[in-house]
């Protein structure tokens, strides 16, 4: 079954909207992390937690729960109620936005299914995306729970898992939306058909490496560029034992790897942009040049964020820039691998 073009595009617009909400969620999550607000709400109430504390008694009860947490005991002891409210609101907005995304996906999904507007080959993919969204909520709570037992911060591994799954869902919905909008018939071999998807994967891995930087507060050290305390490779690189934890638990190694991946991503995307600008169709060439411009902006944002010791505004801009670059690369990968004609039968996403 192939839905009418107008129905396909209506479904695509809905997927683009949900993807945009996830994009904003990654920025809100970044700010929540940068302001160290993520552990301010110490329980998970999917329904009643949608409402914030109302009245002084409710605020004091919430504050009392927070004062039992390791973050308060070891980091924020003596914090006032006003100071607590400042970090509470970021985590509350983060969780509320997650609920909004769930509603923005589930309600239209049910409507489009009922109306028969979703092409049959796409339905399993959209059910899978719904399941991934539910899993993301569980991963988010598991991340928060890791900082409520005996440590005043969340596990960097769970943080990266939470970020990575958010990006997987984002890219999944974006790709499905593009396929519905443009069609999903595989195109003939075009310039960039292999390099564009590979660079999208590289950008994804670079973002995940940045998650480890955030999880270990590694951006607060080695605040020089391009050298790290006067060395290309920091002195403490490889100093942890056993050796296999060093890339994930050593702040020096984590930041070094992020620098290397970011530099490699920037060089590769710029090289691809120049090549496709000369060899690809004009529409693809323009999109490739946009990728090149964005990677240059993102690299500059990263360096500035590091040199200025990670101010919240720059850190949030760096997070948004990373997802913007990933978005452009995914759009480019789709443009060089798909035509504008619908394909019958199984959806080739």
Local confidence band at 276 (pLDDT 50, 70, 90 cut-offs): very high
pLDDT tens digits for 151-160?
889 999 999 9
- The backbone torsions φ and ψ at residue 150, rounded to the nearest 5 degrees and listed phi first, read -135, 10
List the one residue out of 104, 95, 94 whose CA is nearest residue 17. Answer: 104
Domain boundary among 162, 194, 225: 162
Together in a domain, 89 and 201: no
State yes or no: pLDDT of 29 exceeds 80. yes
Domain that holds residue 261: 183-349
State yes or no: pLDDT of 342 exceeds 50. no
List the one residue out of 298, 237, 305 whose CA is nearest residue 267. Answer: 298
- H or E element at residue 58: helix 56-66
Residue 339: its pLDDT value, please?
Answer: 52
Give CA torsion, residues 160, 166, 169, 174, to 10 deg: -120
pLDDT tens digits for 294-332?
999 999 999 999 999 999 999 999 999 999 999 999 999
pLDDT tens digits for 44-90?
888 878 899 999 999 999 999 999 999 999 999 999 999 999 999 99
Together in a domain, 110 and 52: yes
> What pTM, to 2 d.p., does this model score?
0.92
Residue 167 belongs to a domain: no
Residue 241 belongs to a domain: yes
Please give the C-alpha separations between residue 100 and each of 86, 105, 133, 211, in angstroms, as whole numbers.
22, 9, 12, 24
Residue 168 belongs to a domain: no
Give mean pLDDT, residues 202-228.
Answer: 96
Together in a domain, 156 and 217: no
Q: How far apart are CA 270 and CA 290, in angstroms?
A: 10
State the helix-helix crossing angle for 312-337 and 5-34, rounded to 10 degrees: 150
pLDDT tens digits for 157-203?
999 999 999 999 999 999 999 999 987 566 556 777 889 999 999 99
Was 318 annotated as part of a binding site?
A: yes
Together in a domain, 230 and 88: no
């Amino acid at each position: 079954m192939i839905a009418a073009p107008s129905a396909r595009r209506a479904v695509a617009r809905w997927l683009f909207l949900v993807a945009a909400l996830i994009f904003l969620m990654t920025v809100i999550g970044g700010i929540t992390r940068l302001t160290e607000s993520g552990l301010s709400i110490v329980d998970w109430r999917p329904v009643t937690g949608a409402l914030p504390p109302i009245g002084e008694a409710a605020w004091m009860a919430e504050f009392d729960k927070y004062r039992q947490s390791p973050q308060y005991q070891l980091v924020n002891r003596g914090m006032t109620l006003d100071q607590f409210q400042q970090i509470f609101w970021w985590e509350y907005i983060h969780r509320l936005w997650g609920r909004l995304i769930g509603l923005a996906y589930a309600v239209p999904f049910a409507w489009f299914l009922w109306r028969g507007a979703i092409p049959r080959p796409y339905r399993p993919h959209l059910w899978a995306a719904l399941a991934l969204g539910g899993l993301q909520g569980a991963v988010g709570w598991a991340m928060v729970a890791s900082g409520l037992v005996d440590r005043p911060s969340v596990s960097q591994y769970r943080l990266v898992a939470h970020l990575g799954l958010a990006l997987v869902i984002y890219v999944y919905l974006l790709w499905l939306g593009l396929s519905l909008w443009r069609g999903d018939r595989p195109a003939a071999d075009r310039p960039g058909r292999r390099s564009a998807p590979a660079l999208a994967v590289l950008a994804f891995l670079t973002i995940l490496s940045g998650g480890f930087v955030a999880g270990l507060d590694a951006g607060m050290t080695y605040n020089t560029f391009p050298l790290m305390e006067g060395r290309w490779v920091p002195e403490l690189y490889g100093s942890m034992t056993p050796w296999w934890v060093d890339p994930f638990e050593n702040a020096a190694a984590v930041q070094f790897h992020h620098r290397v991946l970011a530099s490699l991503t920037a060089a590769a995307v710029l090289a691809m942009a120049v090549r496709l600008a000369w060899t690809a169709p004009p529409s693809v060439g323009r999109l490739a040049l946009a990728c090149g411009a964005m990677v240059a902006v993102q690299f500059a944002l990263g360096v500035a964020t590091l040199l200025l010791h990670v101010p919240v505004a720059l850190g949030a801009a760096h997070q948004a820039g990373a997802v913007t670059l990933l978005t452009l690369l995914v759009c480019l990968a789709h443009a060089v691998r798909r035509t504008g004609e619908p394909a019958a039968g199984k959806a080739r996403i």
